[in-house]
Structure 1
């Protein structure tokens, strides 16, 4: 059961109070009802439509020009939603990958010219005798599966751990691909420029270091590195106006961050953080150090953010330009209002669902699309009321 109108910090909006006065107990709805459940935010009312269920830890989705939607399952499957129906068959031809811990099939992004070349990019965990790592492959989408699969990026060195793969990706306006790689659970790797872990890499569609990368001329640094000092990025998107790449990443106990990527920037992990170790022991006494960037926004305690999108559609003009972030641990959707490069308001949405939100995407239909992380994961779409 849910009560319509629960707002941020458990406050009830004036709009909801008016509804309660008019309708009383009729506002109690069950998710089992045929009608889409309704919710209220500070800015507008909305409905939540269930598009698909029964997905094994869905991780990312991509919208095809023909209206189909592709969904990755961390369990190692790529699925298609066509005409609102989830195809029971998985797409074939996936690259060799491993499902272990936090690893599996992760992000999916379309080539900027997908409509003409049918190319897409997948990030995933891969295992060899030397351990596991984050890989990226390019492939061409066919009728029933992937063709011409080619590995274009592999983070080195490998590690024996099965967490902090990161794996989020995004294209910029120049057609360059950004790939996040986590610290793999070894903190100091994020400060080592000769190590692929704990940073964001910028490459061409063929896997070459992007022209203009900040460390191209250095023999002691990875040529693909764009930023470093990143712990475990789980959200990445392009700003619709500036074209900048925005990210967010997990802190430990506290210290989740939103950052804007700047070439060559050190984001500080683990030298500075607003979080502490899971054991309760401080990681560092510092939250600031010279030469290390401060986050645009951070959370204490941790919400475990995952997935991120700017709202750019016409269905919710009140949300135009707002940033939406999913939360795994906190089990909610966070709406952030922005002004002059800073967060001016934060609102918690969908706290009644009680589900871990893994991904947030801006749909071409004007709705926000969400994935929930569970063995019976769901695809949701946020639509206007009525």
Structure 2
């Protein structure tokens, strides 16, 4: 039996933790049964509704979920379906695309109880993408501490990026959007439009690709990104997969490399919004790492999962990319860095897809970005 330490037991109580360890069905309402795909069948279950623009979900040991709402609340959805607000979250600038964003548990959460959050900090005039952590205990976050804040903010409250992902060495990846300030993205002296690699304390690891350069931010792992809201790390080999919003067109799936330049805004497959003329200087360049795939038509990608469990046996090794505007999930089959097959899932069934995650039980979980959004579970038959 797993060792659920005092931090986790204090969140839900010893008796409840014991009951969860004993097993039992999770709560939920079946929305549709026997949804057929090319290789799998699944039931779609609504775990919880009435969530206000939920942004991210993390899985608690033994069952239950933490869900962020962009408006600034963190919700604990118990295994029995009851929803409780978690106190102690940081103050956020909940405006436009900003607010309370990603949530991730420390890899050693059972022992240390740390919950990591990304959010928009600052004020109405100038906001920043920030990251911090607090100790989850007795239903609230204690001693919340801001660990990182981007060096330059913006007055527009858009393109925060803000996805998190853990590498096997215990370092933490974090995306920072371009904040609609394209001129900063190719500039290594700022965090704008970058993928960062941080220690668990929010510092820059000494072996980051630009750590020894005086003209670069030491936190940067890769650059040339617009607004990356899909991020997943393959636990087998630490391959980093990332989806990035383009302008009109140009939504990308990228395999990330240390020190890599992914082109934005100089080299892009996207086009200008008003005119549909090509954006930037070129569609390809020898100095820029090209995407593995360009999503056409526009996906507006947010949320990215890798299927690792055998519950969806035919999908094992596939990526699942959520789409906001497209209101669908794309199942993506990749061989030798080439997309060889794709399939649409849940197209138009539940609305704008904000997050997609594989749960510890092998089910696939989905959040919808709506004023009355929900957490859904895809259960294989």
Q: Give the alignment's TM-score, normalised by structure 1.
A: 0.88
Q: What pairs with 1:79-118 in structure 2 (closer than 5 Å)?
A: 79-87=75-83, 89-118=84-113
Partner of 1:144: 139
Q: What pairs with 1:208-357 in structure 2 (closer than 5 Å)?
A: 208-279=203-274, 280-353=276-349, 355-357=351-353
Distance apart, 1:164 and its partner CA = 0.2
Distance between the aligned counterparts of 1:345 and 1:136, measured in 2?
36
Contact 2:30 2:45 survives alignment (8 Å): no
Contact 1:275 1:300 survives alignment (8 Å): no
Contact 1:79 1:86 survives alignment (8 Å): no
Distance apart, 1:184 and its partner CA = 0.1
Distance between the aligned counterparts of 1:48 and 1:35, measured in 2?
5
Distance apart, 1:158 and its partner CA = 1.4
The CA deviation string for residues 182-206 of structure 1, in whole angstroms up to 9 with x for no partner, is 0000112110101111001111111
Distance apart, 1:99 and its partner CA = 0.1
Please give the secondary structure, in 2, of the residue aligned with 1:90. strand
Distance between the aligned counterparts of 2:157 and 2:105, measured in 1?
27
- Match for residue 49 of structure 1 among 45, 48, 63: 45
Distance apart, 1:84 and its partner CA = 3.4
Please give the secondary structure, in 2, of the residue aligned with 1:116. helix
Contact 1:232 1:250 survives alignment (8 Å): yes
Distance apart, 1:64 and its partner CA = 1.0
The CA deviation string for residues 288-321 of structure 1, in whole angstroms up to 9 with x for no partner, is 1121110011113311011000111222111111
RMSD: 1.4
> Between Structure 1 and Structure 2, how many residues are aligned?
352
Distance between the aligned counterparts of 1:40 and 1:321, measured in 2?
19
Distance between the aligned counterparts of 1:140 and 1:167, measured in 2?
20
Distance apart, 1:35 and its partner CA = 6.3
Contact 1:130 1:158 survives alignment (8 Å): no
Distance between the aligned counterparts of 2:30 and 2:135, measured in 1?
38
Contact 1:361 1:368 survives alignment (8 Å): yes
Contact 2:30 2:44 survives alignment (8 Å): no
Distance apart, 1:153 and its partner CA = 0.6
The CA deviation string for residues 30-75 of structure 1, in whole angstroms up to 9 with x for no partner, is xxx9663331111111110111100000000001113121101111
Distance between the aligned counterparts of 1:101 and 1:227, measured in 2?
26
Q: Give the alignment's TM-score, normalised by structure 2.
A: 0.90
- Match for residue 150 of structure 2 among 149, 155, 165: 155
Partner of 2:185: 190
Distance between the aligned counterparts of 2:216 and 2:59, measured in 1?
36
Moved over 2 A (4+): 33-38
Distance between the aligned counterparts of 2:233 and 2:344, measured in 1?
22
Partner of 1:169: 164
The reply on whether 1:77 has 2:70 as its aligned counterpart is no
Which residues of structure 1 form unaligned runs of 5+?
1-32
